[in-house]
Amino acid sequence: MSPPTYPALSYELYPPRNAEAEDSLWTTIRRLEGTRPDFVSVTYGAAGSNQETAIDLLRRLLTETTLKPLAHLTCVGTSRADLTEIVDRLIGGGVRGILALRGDAPEGRESRPGDVEHADELVRLIREVEAQRVAQLAAGKVSVGVAAYATRHPDSPSFDQDIEVLLAKEVAGADFAITQVFFQASDYSRLVTRARQAGVTIPIIPGVMPMTSTRRLKKLSGLAGIDVDEALWGRLEGARTDEERRRIGVEATVDLARAALDDGAPGLHLYTFNEHSAALDVLDALELERPPEAGLAASM
Ligand code: FAD
């Protein structure tokens, strides 16, 4: 009899900007830890703007919690030598999961000769550093994730290019992909179908944002260049109380997540914005089956 399989569960956190934010983040971390996620990811400012706070959070997650951290790493505006050093530092510090990203160049920052330009190149670099480190430290394998897009990336000429790029990242050595936020289940479904047709075999985990804050939805959809569903937007804006808005947002998020899971998604990655309550409301309503014991890391 084959063992039961459970959907993977993970959360995104970002490094705190001050001491007050750090306290509130740690309340969130403890609440999320109770749901036994497979990993929690820690974002990284493009061009390394918050490198030390990110590394400190990763260190604390490794030493003070039962959680497995996935370190985001961006390559934009960064040389091969600097990236090699940071990957070496992450692996040396015990991190065994890295999300290899390009990032978006800060305004006015041009790339210089020798900078790593795209995520597929960063995946290759991580694999090279890993090969040296594994021999030195007898360290375990590093899981490498990459970004995927259910709607066209704003810099891409076409959705087809995004699919080719995803395949290139897998060929470079990626183990799994996490999607950018999306607001239509059919977009996730189309991404997976087209990726499989193109030969992509790695798991493509849907990244889902609890849609409870109109301010945040507006900001993120602007940044990612994705339109929020108009009907949902109208219902959120028309809510008479915060409680009503929250209920509408949680219901819409649950519907989106459930549709992706019903469509065969291997799990869910929840964008928490360092707040646990909306993420936990979504999880409660989803009644996601979780393994009885901690640590069923899908690929880490
Ligand atoms: P790439 O895969 O390099 O693609 C970027 C663009 O270049 C695309 O248009 C692609 O088609 C094109 N392209 C890719 N490879 C090539 C190639 N070899 N030749 C020519 N063109 C190519 N940003 C942060 O700053 N910090 C974070 O922590 C962070 N976390 C994220 C987590 C997730 C799950 C996702 C989905 C995104 C995250 N981002 C983060 C945002 C991400 O950095 C941006 O979306 C960025 O614009 C693209 O990153 P990428 O890794 O997809 O880049």
pLDDT tens track for 66-117: 999 999 999 999 999 999 999 999 999 999 999 999 999 877 777 788 889 9
Task: Look up tokens 């997650």; give the residue.
Answer: 61
What are phi and psi for residue 113, nearest 5 degrees? -55, 135
ipTM over 0.95: yes
Cα 29–chain centre separation: 16
Per-residue confidence band for 299, with pLDDT thresholds at 50, 70 and 90: very low
The three-class DSSP label of residue 150 is coil
Does the structure show a pLDDT above 90 at 121?
yes
Separation between Cα atoms, residue 15 and residue 39, nearest integer Å: 16
3-state secondary structure of 87: helix
Measured between alpha carbons, how far is 23 from 146 in angstroms, rounded to an integer?
30
Pocket lining: 151 vs ligand 1, CB cutoff 6 Å: no
The residue to mutate among 43, 76, 101, having the most atoms of ligand 1 within 8 angstroms of its beta carbon, is 101
Q: Is 180 in the pocket of ligand 1 (CB under 6 A)?
A: yes
To test the pocket of ligand 1, the residue of 57, 111, 118 to mutate (highest count of ligand atoms within 8 Å of its CB) is 118
Residue 33 known to be catalytic: no
Q: Calculate how far, in angstroms, residue 84's C-alpha sits from the geometric centre of ligand 1.
A: 19
Whether 86 contacts 51, CB under 8 Å: yes
**pLDDT tens by residue, 151-199:** 999 999 999 999 999 999 999 999 999 999 999 999 999 999 999 999 9
Residue range 227-258, pLDDT digits in tens: 888 889 999 999 999 999 999 999 999 999 99
**Protein residue whose Cα sits closest to atom 19 of ligand 1:** 118
**Angle, CA of 283, 185 and 193, to the nearest 5°:** 120
What is the pTM (predicted TM-score) of this model? 0.95
Q: Between 3.40.50.620, 3.30.300.20, 3.20.20.220, 3.30.70.20, what CATH number should domain 8-299 receive?
A: 3.20.20.220
Place 205 in a pLDDT band, splitting at 50, 70 and 90: very high
**Closest ligand 1 atom to the C-alpha of 72?**
28
CA dist list (Å): 147 to 99, 131, 170, 259: 8, 23, 11, 21
Beta strands in the chain (DSSP E): 8-13, 39-42, 69-74, 97-101, 143-148, 176-179, 204-205, 207-208, 267-271
Mean pLDDT for the chain overall? 92
**For residue 298, is pLDDT > 60?**
no
Buried (b) or exposed (e) across 217-252, using 16+ Cβ within 10 A?
beebbeeeebebbeebbebbeeeeeeeebbebbbbb
Does residue 103 line the site of ligand 1, with CB under 6 A?
A: yes
